[in-house]
Structure 1
Amino acid sequence: MPGSRQAPRRAWRGGNWQDGDRALPEEVAVAFTYDGTAHAVMMATPDDLRDFAIGFSLTEGILTHADEVEVLEIVPLPTGIDLRFWLQPGRGEALAARRRRMAGPVGCGMCGLETLAQVQRAVPEVGPGVALSPEEIEAALASLPPAQALNTETHAVHAAAFWHPRRGLVALREDVGRHNALDKLAGALAARSLPAAEGLVMVTSRISVELVQKAAMLGAPMLAGISAPTTLALEVAEAAGITVMGICRRDGFEIFTRPHRVLEAAPA
């Protein structure tokens, strides 16, 4: 399915009525089914679904590596899309250990958790990663808007992207849900065997706790967002060793945790 669709609308602009069409993002129910058992349903933009399938499974701890999937089928249904996984032997037991059923609206990546303890699930501590100068971080952030094709068309979706200090912007994914966009990015990086530890992950949203948790599962040492982080997100980021930057705008950015990865000046 395409990521957007034209919808008729009547607009009041400049003191006049204008009839025409506007591109709007698609939003459908996407189900995750593992070894024949339903696991989760997310509302998402129905493109880059293979990346979404693998990325969600990695950031949620269902998979530890993409090659643990024997078969992945993307099955369109009248009510949505079913991502059907058949996992290698042994992964089903790991999945059963952290079972969760949820219907996740685009604004929340944690709706439907079975216990309060799952909100603050343990995440791994990231490695040392890279160190970037303010100029490099600004260059990374400036590369986002021109690459956001779906948002340019619809003005209604989030993006998650990965910037490498030697290769520039190497991957970007978009979705109506900010956490879905990050999952799609995770899948894209896994497909290309690109370690998140080698660069900067960026999101066009506030930095909420589930984004920090997913970044930690990716091993991403640096996470930047155009809006502010939440206090719980910072607590988790500090524990995981992640450098969080927020309020990333044209005039600069603010560092909230682990500032040692941001150099005082560009390297000679």
Structure 2
Amino acid sequence: MARIARGSRAQRWTAAGPRDPRPEPLAGEEPLEVRLDGEPFTVTMRTPGDDLDLVAGFLVSEGVVAAAAQLRAVAAGAGVTAEGRRDDNVVDVRLGPGAVPPAAASQRHVYVSSSCGICGTASVEAVRKASRHAPDQDPLRVPVDQLLVMPDLLRERQRVFGRTGGTHAAALLRPAVEGAAGSPEVLCVREDVGRHNAVDKVVGWALRQDLLPLAGTVLQVSGRASFELVQKAAMAGVPVLSAVSAPSAAAADLGEETGVTVVGFNRGDRLTVYSRPERVVAGSVP
């Protein structure tokens, strides 16, 4: 679970003036170094917690791995601090058969901020990744009522956001299919100061559970749908990405290209479908 860090005493103001300072809970944000087979790969800013999921999902997004068997081992605390103590902000990954180690030219030699998932990529070509899964072939059809309840199901589980107001969230859900009874099943929820990190944590959880490709699922996010989030969905084989805010033009175009249904402005009583609309069907689940 994402961690809450208490900041220094903060002072709240109203139009009437300041109130007495008091401690305010804040979402944690710390650097995480990722090593591949002992060699430095990247450093990313993230909210500590679910770090092994984050790293596994990040490697799916980078096209390094596509199945659980391709991760031989993922170990936290792989570094040593200047004081000689174990450094929990370092994770080392040992790749297994079938993994595709990144070429030296595409390795990230600078840090990735919590607001940017593709910063530090060495070339424009390296931004685009080819998925080893095929969301465009997924036969999923989702009743619109199933999609409309997903933001609330996510919000109910945003514990860190509820206390700090400072995290994004992502949820992986399996909707009840057209003609079947029931509500969407919430498989996994993760939070982070970076929306791309929250998605990586969800995808990494699924990878470590050996659930990829994520056919028949919906990825619900708390913010907007960016190009990189659509790409992350495609890399994991997710057929539907739903966001409470708008997608970018590049996100909608990539959804059409990769076969991911991109849904935006999903806010309880309405939504807008920007790509592959045939997956969303009228009516409700009995």
- Structure 2 residue matching 1:18: 3-state secondary structure: coil
Aligned pair 1:115/2:123, yes or no?
yes
Q: Report the Cα offset of residue 98 of structure 1.
A: 6.8
Aligned pair 1:186/2:203, yes or no?
yes
Aligned pair 1:84/2:92, yes or no?
yes
Give the counterpart of 1:37 among 36, 39, 50. Answer: 39
Q: Report the Cα offset of residue 97 of structure 1.
A: 6.9
- Kept in 1: contact 2:2–2:190 (CA 8 A): no
- Structure 2 residue matching 1:70: 3-state secondary structure: strand
Q: Deviations over 1:171-220 (max 9, x none)?
A: 10000111110000001122334452122111111111111111001100
Partner of 2:151: 141
- Kept in 2: contact 1:125–1:239 (CA 8 A): no
Q: Report the Cα offset of residue 64 of structure 1.
A: 2.0
- Structure 2 residue matching 1:109: 3-state secondary structure: coil
Q: Report the Cα offset of residue 11 of structure 1.
A: 1.1
- Kept in 1: contact 2:2–2:192 (CA 8 A): no
Partner of 1:211: 229
Partner of 1:66: 68
Unmatched runs of 5 consecutive residues or more in structure 2: 82-86, 177-183
Q: 1:129 to 1:55 in 2, by over 3 A?
A: farther
Give the counterpart of 1:249 among 267, 272, 278. Answer: 267
Q: Count residues with an aligned counterpart.
A: 267
Q: Report the Cα offset of residue 251 of structure 1.
A: 3.0
Q: Report the Cα offset of residue 22 of structure 1.
A: 1.0
- The normalised TM-score by structure 1 is 0.92
Letter of the aligned partner of 1:150 in structure 2? V
Unmatched runs of 5 consecutive residues or more in structure 1: none
Distance in 1, Cα, partners of 2:275 & 2:10: 45
Give the counterpart of 2:243 among 225, 250, 259. Answer: 225
- Identity between Structure 1 and Structure 2 (%): 30
Q: Deviations over 1:67-103 (max 9, x none)?
A: 2222221116548711101222564x63337732141
Distance in 1, Cα, partners of 2:267 & 2:139: 23
Distance in 2, Cα, partners of 1:2 & 1:267: 33
Distance in 2, Cα, partners of 1:98 & 1:176: 29
Q: Report the Cα offset of residue 249 of structure 1.
A: 1.3
- Kept in 1: contact 2:2–2:50 (CA 8 A): no
- Kept in 1: contact 2:2–2:160 (CA 8 A): no
Distance in 2, Cα, partners of 1:239 & 1:98: 26
Q: 1:122 to 1:68 in 2, by over 3 A?
A: closer
Q: Report the Cα offset of residue 125 of structure 1.
A: 3.8
- Structure 1 residue matching 2:266: 3-state secondary structure: strand
- Structure 2 residue matching 1:201: 3-state secondary structure: strand
- Kept in 1: contact 2:34–2:41 (CA 8 A): yes
| Between 138-147 and 10-19, the greater mean CA deviation after superposition | 10-19
- Structure 1 residue matching 2:156: 3-state secondary structure: helix
Q: Report the Cα offset of residue 57 of structure 1.
A: 1.2
Partner of 2:180: none
Distance in 2, Cα, partners of 1:214 & 1:84: 22
Q: Deviations over 1:227-257 (max 9, x none)?
A: 1111111111111011100111133111101
Q: Deviations over 1:33-77 (max 9, x none)?
A: 001211111100110111112111122111121222222211165
- Structure 2 residue matching 1:144: 3-state secondary structure: helix
The structure whose residues are more often helix, as a share, is 1
- The normalised TM-score by structure 2 is 0.86
Distance in 2, Cα, partners of 1:212 & 1:144: 18
Distance in 2, Cα, partners of 1:184 & 1:111: 18
Distance in 1, Cα, partners of 2:243 & 2:122: 29
Q: Report the Cα offset of residue 12 of structure 1.
A: 1.4
Aligned pair 1:239/2:257, yes or no?
yes
Partner of 2:111: 103
- Structure 2 residue matching 1:114: 3-state secondary structure: coil
Partner of 1:151: 161
Distance in 1, Cα, partners of 2:113 & 2:38: 23
- Structure 2 residue matching 1:229: 3-state secondary structure: coil
